Structure 1
Amino acid sequence: MNYATGKYITFLDADDWLDSEGFPELLLQANKHNSDIAFGQSIKHDDRGISKLGRFTSFKVENGLIPYEIDKIFRAVGPPGKIVKAEVIKSNKLKFKHLKFGEDKLFFIEAISRCKTASMNSAAVYHVNRYNENQSLVTETNILEKTADNLTVLEEVLQLNLPEKAEFQAISRIVEVDFISRLFNKKRFLKSHQKAEFYDYFKRLTEMLRMNGKNIEDYLIEDKYKNNFKLLNEHRYDDLYDYIALLIKGGKADRYIKNNQVHFVMPEQLQDLIPVTEEMFAVYEGTHEYEDVHYEQIRVYKHPDITIDKVLFTEIHNEPHAQEVKYVERDNKIYIKSSVLEDIAYNFNIVLIYNEYKPYTVNMNLPNMKF
C-alpha cells in the first residue's frame, strides 16, 4: 500500500471481482466529495443464488457521513465494497497484522475509525465468490482458533485510542458477533466435546475488558445476547443449551402473537430471560377486493418502533433483481394493487424493507404452536 500512487485504494480478494459499472460510480462519487472512505453494495454469488451483503453500508446515496457512526458498520470489516483514501492509510501507517484469522477485521476497524468523512452508494460495486469450489481459509479455520485470534484483535483495538463512538461499535461487534453469535449460538457448540474451552475464552474476553476498565454488559445491544450473557455469567449451562437450541430453531420454534408482535414460547427454566421476539413478521393474506379494486394483502406484526420504507418484488435466488412497488399501509396491513403483478415476468418473493435497510421476506403461514 505504501507504493500506491492513486488518491484511493481498494481491496480485492482472490476469486472476487469488481463491478464494471458500480465501482467507477462509487469512485467518482468519493473523489467528487473528497471522502476519506466510500461504501458500496457487495453481492454474494454461491450455489444457491445471488444475494446482497451488508445492506447497512449501502442502502442509499449520501455523502458527508461520519463512517464509524453508521449503524452496525463494524459488522462488515472485510475488503468487499470499500474504497479508502490512500493518505488515511499512509498517514496512520495502517498495515495488515499477520494473523491466521482476523487480520481484515483489525485493519478495517482501524481504517474506518481513522476516516472522518464517508460516502455511501446503493450501486453494486463488489462481487464475492462463494461457490463451493472456492473454499477459503475462513471456512477451514477451527472456531477455537478463530476465537484465539479474536482475542488478539480485541487486545489490539483496546490499544488503538479510537474515537469513543468507533471504539464502542467495534467492541460491541466483537462481543456480540464473534464471542456470542458465532462462538455459542451455533449447532457446533451444542455438539462440541470441548465446551470448557468455549467458556474459558468467554471468561478471558470479560476479564480483558475488565482489565481495561470496561464492563462487557455495556456492549450488549441486542436482547438475545443479553440473555446469553446472563446464562453464561450465572453458569447455567443446561439452560444455555436450551436457549441456544431455541434460537437455532428460529422460524421452526413454537411461537405465538401478543400485542401485534411474534413471541417465542419460552420453557419454564428460561422464564426469567428477556422474551425472545421477532421485531418484524409479515404474512401474505391473499387477494382481496375493496371498492371494486383487487389488492394483494399482507398482515404485518412488528415492534412499534419499526417503520416500513418500501416493498420489493425480488426475484427468487437473484436478490439484486428487484422491482419496487407502490403500496398503502393501514392498520398493520399492506395493500398492493393486484394489477402490478402483470408487469412482473419472474418468480419473486415479496420483501419488506424496514428501518431503512433491513429486509424481511413475507411468509405464507402464520406462526403457531405444535401440540
Structure 2
Amino acid sequence: MNLSNFFKLNKKESKPSVEEREYTILNKEALAEEKKVAVVVPVYNAEEYVRKTVDSVILQNIGFQHISLILVDDCSTDDSRNILTEYAELYENITVVFLKDNTGTPAYPRNLGIELANAKYITFLDADDWFAPNGVKILFDMLERDQVNYAVGKTIEMQVNGQKTIGKHESSLNRAKVSPFSIRHIFYHLGPRARMMNLQFLKDNDIRYPEMKFAEDKQFFMDVLLACGDISTSTEPVYYLNRMDNNESLTKQTNIMEKTDTNIAVMKYILNKKLDTEKEKMAMNRLIEFDSITRLFDRMHFLKSENKEAYYNKFNEILNVLKKTKYDISETFFHPIHKTAYRLLTQKRYDEVEKLFRWSKKEPDKNIVTQGGLAYLESPLTDEENKLVELRMHGETESAVFADHKFTVTFRLFGQDRNNAQYIQFQHRDNMKVVHQFPVQSLGDGRYVLEIPLRDIEKVGLGGYIMYVIYNDYERVMLNRDDGEKVTAEANGLQYQFYRTVKENLSLKVTK
C-alpha cells in the first residue's frame, strides 16, 4: 500500500468551504472504488476510545470489504493521529484525513466525508462510540429492501451505572416505508447515531451540516427528514453511545447559552423554509418544548445560576422569533408542565418559573390528584390556573395476584391518552437487549388487565426487570403500587416475584 499518496488543497478564498480548507489524505486511492456503505468518523482527541470505534467498523458482519471508512481528524493534540495512521497502514479501505487547522465543529469533518465518500449509502459514527456487530447490515438491508432514503435503528446509551435506549420513538417498532411525520417525536434526539442515508439523496438535495459548534446535527437531520420521503425503522440495536465518563470529544462540549443561540439560529432556519404548517409545528415543537423549556429551564444549571436574568432574556429572544408564527406553539407540547412554564414565561412571572422548576426537581414527595380520568400534581403555585399541573400519564395498580397458574394484574391509567395502552414491557435492568412484552386487555376508560400464564412468564430469564405500560407505540409509564405485598410463583427452579420498588412502582424479579 502506498501511503505517500497525500495531497493538499490551499485556495485563498474569503469564505472557506469543503474544498477550500487545507488537509492531507492517507489512502486516497481507496476512494476510487465504490462501496456499499461509507462510514464517516470525525475525530478530535479520541485516543482513549478511537480504537474501539474503528474496530467496531472493521468487524461489521456485512463484511469490511464492502465498507469505506473515512476518518477525519480535526487537529487532535493527543495520540489520535498516530493511531489513525496505524490503521491506514493496515487497511487499504480506511481513508484518513488530517485537517491542517482546527474547525471547532464536527460539521466540517462530516461534510468533507460526504464529499469524499464513494458509496451507495452513508452513515456517521462519533470517535468514542461504536456500532453493534450487525449495525451497518441492519440499516443497509432496510434501505435496500424498502428503497427509501433514510433508515434508523436502536441506540443504546452506555453509562457507568447502566444502559438506556435513546430515542425510543425511532426504534420501538419495525416500520417499513412510513411517513416520518407519522411518528410524533420524530424531530427529537437528532444526533448522527444509528442512521443511514442514500448518499446521492444528500447530494441531490444539497444537504450538509451547518458549521456551528452546536445543533449542526439537529439542523442536518431536520433537513433530511423534511426531504427524504418515507423512512424505515428497526427495533434492533445498531449503535452504542458512550457516556461512560466526561470524555471531551469534538461532539460533546456544551455551553447552555451558546447552545441556545445555535438553537435560535435553527428556529429561524426552519421558519424561513415556509413549510406546511403541521410539519413546521412538529419541528418547532422540538426546538421550543425540548430545547427552550426542558434544556434551558428544567435543569439544575438554571436553578444553580446566579444570573437567571440571562436565561429570561434568552427566552425573550425566542419569543421574538415566534412572532413570525400564526399559532400557539405551546398547544403542541407533550408535557403539561412545560405548557405551564411557557405561560408563566410569556407573562414574565419569573419568580414562579423558578419556584415551579425548583419544586419539579427537588420535591421528592409530590401529591397526585386524580379526577375526570386525568392526574395532576399539586404545585406550589397558588393561582387557580397553575396550582394543579396535569401529568402526561399516571398509572396505578389496582390488584396483582397469582391464581390458576397465571399472574393477573389490573391497573388504571390517568391521562389524555389513557385509552391507548397496548402492552406491558419488562425491560432487564442490566441489559437493554433483553425485553419481554405481553399484551393487555382494555376494560374501558383507562382500566386494563394483564394476564400472563406461568408457561409464558417462564420465558423471562433471571434478573430484575423494570415494568412499563407502553402506549402510543413507544411512550411509557410505570405503575404505582400502594401496598408492599409481594406476589410470587415458582417454576422450573426459578422464583417469579412482582414487588413494589423503593419508588413505589410495580416491578418483576426472577431469582433462583
- Pair 1:346 & 2:463 matched: yes
**Cα distance change, pair 230–356 in 1 and its aligned pair in 2 (3 A):** same
Cα 1:134/1:270, change in 2 over 3 Å: farther
Query: 19-28 or 326-335, which moves further after superposition?
Result: 326-335
- More off after superposition, 86-95 vs 60-69: 60-69
SS of structure 2 residue aligned to 1:2: helix
Determine the structure 2 residue equivalent to 1:41.
154
Q: 1:338, 1:263 → 2: CA distance?
A: 35
Partner secondary structure for residue 433 of structure 2: coil
Conserved 8 A contact 1:113-1:163? no
Q: What is the CA–CA distance in structure 2 between the aligned matches of 1:333 and 1:240, rounded to whole Å?
A: 37
CA distance in 2, matches of 1:343, 1:218: 44
Q: Which has the higher helix share?
A: 1
Deviation at 1:26, TM superposition (A): 2.6
Which of 221, 232, 238 is 2:333 aligned to? 221
1:163-203 CA-partner distances (Å, limit 9, x unpaired): 54432211121111111111112222122111111111111
Query: The residue matched to 1:239 in structure 2 has which SS?
Result: helix
Measured after TM superposition, the shift of residue 328 of structure 1 is 4.3
Structure 1 counterpart SS, 2:382: helix
- Report the Cα offset of residue 218 of structure 1: 6.0
1:99 aligns with 2:212: yes
Report the identity percentage: 25
TM-score (normalised: structure 2): 0.65
Instruction: Tell whether the 8 Å contact from 2:156 to 2:241 is kept in structure 1 after alignment.
Output: yes
> What pairs with 1:264-283 in structure 2 (closer than 5 Å)?
264-267=377-380, 269-273=382-386, 275-283=388-396
**CA 1:309–1:168: 2 relative to 1, 3 Å:** same
C-alpha distance in 2 between matches for 1:351 and 1:305: 15
How far did residue 103 of structure 1 move?
A: 1.0
Change in Cα spacing, 1:201 to 1:326, as seen in structure 2 (3 Å) is closer
Mapped contact 1:39–1:120 kept (Cα < 8 A): yes
For the pair shown, which has the larger CA radius of gyration, 1 or 2?
Answer: 2
Structure 1 counterpart of 2:417: 305
Q: Please, what is the CA RMSD of the aligned residues?
A: 2.7
Q: Which runs of 5+ in 1 are unaligned?
A: none
Higher relative contact order (CA 8 A, sep 6+): 1
List per-residue Cα deviations over 1:310-365 (Å, max 9, x = no partner). Answer: 21222113233112235544362433336244443222122221111112233444
Per the alignment, in what secondary structure is the counterpart of residue 95 of structure 1?
coil
- d(CA) in 2 for partners of 1:189, 1:263: 24
| 1:334 and 2:449 matched | yes
Aligned AA (1:276) = V
**CA 1:138–1:277: 2 relative to 1, 3 Å:** farther
Alpha-carbon distance in 2 for matches of 1:83, 1:148: 28
Per the TM alignment, residue 64 of structure 1 is displaced from its structure 2 partner at its CA by 2.2
Distance verdict in 2 for CA 1:230–1:182, change over 3 Å: same
1:347/1:79 CA distance change after superposition, 3 Å: same
The 1:6/1:219 distance shift into structure 2, 3 A limit, reads: farther
Partner of 1:10: 123
Q: Aligned pair 1:182/2:299, yes or no?
A: no
Among 156, 161, 182, the residue aligned to 2:269:
156
Check the 8 A contact 1:310/1:354 in 2, yes or no.
Answer: yes
Q: What SS does structure 2 have at the residue aligned with 1:75?
A: coil
- C-alpha distance in 2, partners of 1:188/1:317? 29
Equivalent position amino acid for 1:62 in 2: R
Counterpart for residue 235 of structure 1: 348
The alpha-carbon distance between structure 1 residues 45 and 104, as it changes in their structure 2 partners (threshold 3 A), is same
CA contact (8 A) 2:381 2:387 kept: no
Structure 2: runs of 5+ lacking an equivalent: 1-113, 484-502, 505-512
For the residue of structure 2 that corresponds to 1:347, the secondary structure is strand
CA–CA distance in 1 between the matches of 2:215 and 2:451? Answer: 45
The CA deviation at 1:104 is: 0.9
Matched, 1:170 2:283: yes
**1:57-116, CA deviations, whole angstroms, 9 ceiling, x for partnerless residues?**
122222222224421111121101211111221012222222121111111111211111
Give 1:13 shift.
Answer: 1.1
Whole-angstrom CA distance in 1 between matches of 2:477 and 2:325: 39
Give, in whole Å, the separation in 1 of the partners of 2:158 and 2:137. 21
The answer as to 2:321 corresponding to 1:208 is yes
Correspondence for 1:196: 309
Residue 62 of structure 2: aligned partner:
none
